[in-house]
Structure 1
């Protein structure tokens, strides 16, 4: 429960923080901030993600005691990468007199990536050891520091690069806060074992990294194209819609993935490969049961959300971009949290690269075709088409053929029908005044969808709740 609480807090504070930064910086500087932050995310995934993935897949309390060289390898690899990235940040900063603002944003992106990488690593270690209380403290400290440091920096400097650095520093300091509590006792072991672990982790993690880099480069390239074609202010409008929607769905999916994937790993480790795959299949149904109705609800309340929460300078753009980007954001969340774990539990991650390549190709072709007649809106639509194409490819690879995952189709069909019923109930409320429409849609949507889930035990959620209440222990 502490992990779920951490993600609820994280989601709310991240949403508020994004809106505050957008309000203070204004569309043009927020466009620069969003573009640089996207670059920091790409750097983090490219350099640190395979180690984070390895920590969540191969590190546990058992491994901590029995195979200490695994943690030693992870620590050394993180330290070496961080040192190299620090050098790259200093080189980019030295190039500012010649290259101006792009060099400054590049240096800030590299600095922020170091903080993001260390925070994600500590969070992954807490996940792997199921220390929910420590994870909650880590998230609370990070969000408290980010709120003070990023908002304060934005208010005093109005500088996108400085706000990015403040964000990276807040995550770095939060990671240092729990570093000692998550440390392992020093144990003698052979260097050869570290090298063997390194080869295993690279073979497992690098295909996932390659796919994720492509998925992050697509929004980065699209934002850059919007900025080049229509200016940084238009990139700011695009980025705010993408960031708010992306945070909602990534946070929802990650909140489940934190627990569900570790349960699948534990099942595979203790009861065999088939048990791990069965758990992954159940996990996928649960993820779909959360993501799909959330997407439908977000579509319904987007106009009310724009009127109530979105800064005035962005109004009139937020809803349009949200509706174009929403299919892609949902597709990306389903890939990351429902389909990718199928290949991760099998340690066969190469299909993820093919899906990413196909998505990038569709994005490029669609952007070239749509940007002329539709402008930035065409680029947003192209991004969604790319992510949907990747989702369809990966879904076909995972759920069809002789090696397909055995998943009963009752649950996905039930989720679609229940979401359709919820949407039909909400549509008459969409025309209400914003302050009435938002709470009415949240209340009615929750009641309708929750009642259907409970009545038909969609994705086994009713059984899981009853098992938890009846036994007082977490249901797998």
Structure 2
């Protein structure tokens, strides 16, 4: 429960922080900040993600005791990569001014170091099921980020400086809790090191390659919009993409933190089939929460814009949100429902093919739509790319000889229940924003919750009664 609480807090604070930074910087500088942040995320995925994935898949309490060299290998690889990237950041500024594009590039590299270290510590806490420590890590990071990023934005109004503050807040949070997650160093033979590194790379690099493609797509789209229509337009696009992306990725990651580790534990203790069965259940749960959340976000977007979005972004936020939400939902379902199927099997090469399909569709759609529709066409092309990648990966996972055995009752029930919920809240969108927002959330939650409980969609009722029902001893 502490892990879920951490993600609820993280989602709320990240949403508030994004809106505050947008308000202070304004559309043009927020566009620069968002573009630099996207670059930092790409760097983090390229350099650190394969190690984070290896930590979540191959490190656990059992491994900590029986195979301590795995943690030592991870620590050394992270340290070497972070030092190299920090050196690259300094080189980017060598002989250059501390403002402008070189500063943005250096800030992206420095922020990637902070993101990478924070994600690593979070992955270790996740792998060991220490939810209280994970909650502490998230709270420290968000507290530091709120003070440092908002303070830097007020003091400098500079996108690169705010990015540096963001990376530093994550770095400091990871350092503060590092001792609680530390393991004693372990000696290991060179042959074991080579074997372990090959295992990490074979497992993680295909996932990394796919994720790099998925991050390069919005990065290239933002850059194209900035080049053609200016940084202000890129800022409008970026705020809608960042708010929507944070909502769905945070919700999916909160589930994945718990569910994927349960699947790994099932495979480790009961065999491969048990792991696949758990992954199938996990996918149904992810769909059961992501899809109604998407419909609800679409319904409340106008009210959210009127209440919380900075005035300079209003009008643009809802427009871009409606275009981007289908793609953001597809990306979340890929990352948290479909990717784990291939991760539990340690066969991650299909993820690269899906990423390439998505990038190709994004490119072709952007070329076709950018002319007649401008930046709106690029936003639509991004959604089409993510949807194409999801459909390709879904076909690979759920059809053929090695398909995952998943009952179709749950996906159909989720779609029908979401449709009923959407029909119930549509009339409420016409209310004033301060009434529409709580009314849509309350009615939508009650309608979907009642249907999920009545028909036990994705086993949610069974899970709740097993955890809190009568006859179950309290922990």
TM-score range normalised by the length of the shorter chain? over 0.9
Q: Give the Cα separation in 2 of the matches to 1:96 and 1:282.
A: 53
Q: Distance in 1 between matches of 2:89 and 2:23?
A: 28
Determine helix, strand or coil for the equivalent of 1:430.
helix
2:87 equivalent in structure 1: 87
Deviation at 1:187, TM superposition (A): 3.1
Aligned to 2:187: 188
The aligned residue for residue 463 of structure 2 is 464
Match in the other structure for 2:301:
302
Say if 2:215 is the partner of 1:220.
Answer: no
Q: Which residue of 2 aligns with 1:173?
A: 172
TM-superposed CA distance for 1:88, in Å, is 0.6
Q: Measure, in 2, the Cα distance between the counterparts of 1:185 and 1:457.
A: 46
Q: Which residue of structure 1 aligns with residue 266 of structure 2?
A: 267
Conservation of the 8 A alpha-carbon contact between 2:72 and 2:186: no
1:106 aligns with 2:77: no
* Aligned 8 A contact 1:95 1:103 in 2: no
1:95 is displaced (CA, Å) by 5.3
The equivalent of 1:72 in structure 2 is 72
1:365 corresponds in structure 2 to 364
Map of 2:434 onto structure 1? 435
Distance 1:393 1:202 in 2: 24
Is 1:58 matched up with 2:77? no
CA distance in 1, matches of 2:346, 2:329: 25
Partner of 1:395: 394
Aligned mates of 1:32, 1:95 — CA distance in 2 = 22
For residues 286-365 of structure 1, the aligned pairs below 5 Å read 286-365=285-364
Tell me if structure 1 keeps the 8 A contact 2:69–2:185. no
- Check conservation: 1:25, 1:154, Cα contact below 8 A: yes
**Any conservation in 2 of the 1:286–1:459 contact (CA below 8 Å)?**
yes
Deviation at 1:96, TM superposition (A): 2.6
Q: CA deviation at 1:94?
A: 1.4
Question: Does structure 1 conserve the Cα–Cα contact (< 8 Å) formed by 2:424 and 2:443?
Answer: yes
Q: Residues 5-55 of structure 1: CA distance to partner in whole angstroms, max 9, x if unpaired?
A: 000000000000000000000000000000000000000000000000000
Q: 1:241, 1:318 within 8 Å by CA — same for their partners in 2?
A: yes
> Structure 1 residues 236 and 369 mapped into 2: Cα distance closer, same or farther (>3 Å)?
same
User: Does the Cα contact within 8 Å between 2:99 and 2:160 map onto a contact in 1?
Assistant: no
Counterpart of 2:208? 209
Secondary structure class of the residue paired with 1:96: coil
Q: Any gaps of 5 or more consecutive residues in structure 1?
A: none
Shift in Å at residue 103 of structure 1? 1.4
Partner Cα separation in structure 1 for residue 203 and residue 272 of structure 2: 16
Matched residues in 1 for 2:243 and 2:77: separation? 33
Aligned residues of 1:68 and 1:189 also touching (Cα < 8 A):
no
Offset of residue 278 of structure 1: 0.1
Match of 1:124 in 2: 123
Q: What whole-Å deviation, never above 9, does each CA across 1:162-187 have from its counterpart, x for those lacking one?
A: 00000000000000011111001233
Name the SS for the 1:184 alignment partner. Answer: coil
Could you tell me the TM-score, scaled by structure 2's length? 0.98
- Post-superposition shift, 1:473? 6.8
Give me the whole-angstrom Cα distance separating, in 2, the residues matched to 1:76 and 1:350. 26
Q: TM-score, normalised by structure 1?
A: 0.98
Matches of 1:177 and 1:409, distance apart in 2: 46
| Residues 31 and 233, structure 1, Cα contact 8 Å, conserved in 2 | yes
User: Once the 2 structures are TM-superposed, how far is the Cα of residue 101 of structure 1 from its aligned partner?
Assistant: 2.0
Residue 472 of structure 1 and its aligned partner are, at CA, apart by 4.1
Return closer, same or farther for 1:472/1:93 CA change in 2, 3 Å cut-off. Answer: farther
Change in 2 beyond 3 A, CA 1:264/1:473: farther
Q: Does the 8 A contact of 2:30 with 2:159 survive in 1?
A: yes
Match in the other structure for 1:154? 153
Q: Are 1:143 and 2:142 matched, yes or no?
A: yes
Distance 1:187 1:80 in 2: 17
Q: Deviations over 1:271-292 (max 9, x none)?
A: 0000000000000000000000
Aligned residues: 473
Q: Secondary structure at the match of 2:402?
A: coil
Residue 21 of structure 1 is matched in structure 2 by 21
Whether the 8 Å contact between 2:351 and 2:393 is mirrored in structure 1 is yes
Look up the match of 1:41.
41
1:284-326 CA-partner distances (Å, limit 9, x unpaired): 0000000000000011100000000000000010000000001
**Partners of 1:207 and 1:350 within 8 A in 2:** yes
What CA distance in whole angstroms lies between the structure 1 residues aligned with 2:209 and 2:184? 33
Using a 3 Å threshold, how does the CA distance of structure 1 residues 347 and 95 change in structure 2: closer, same or farther?
farther
- Contact map agreement 1:52 1:121 (CA 8 A) in 2: yes
Contact 1:72 1:194 in 2 (8 A): no
Query: Does 2:31 align with 1:31?
Result: yes
CA distance in 2, matches of 1:469, 1:169: 40
How far is 1:469 from its partner? 1.1
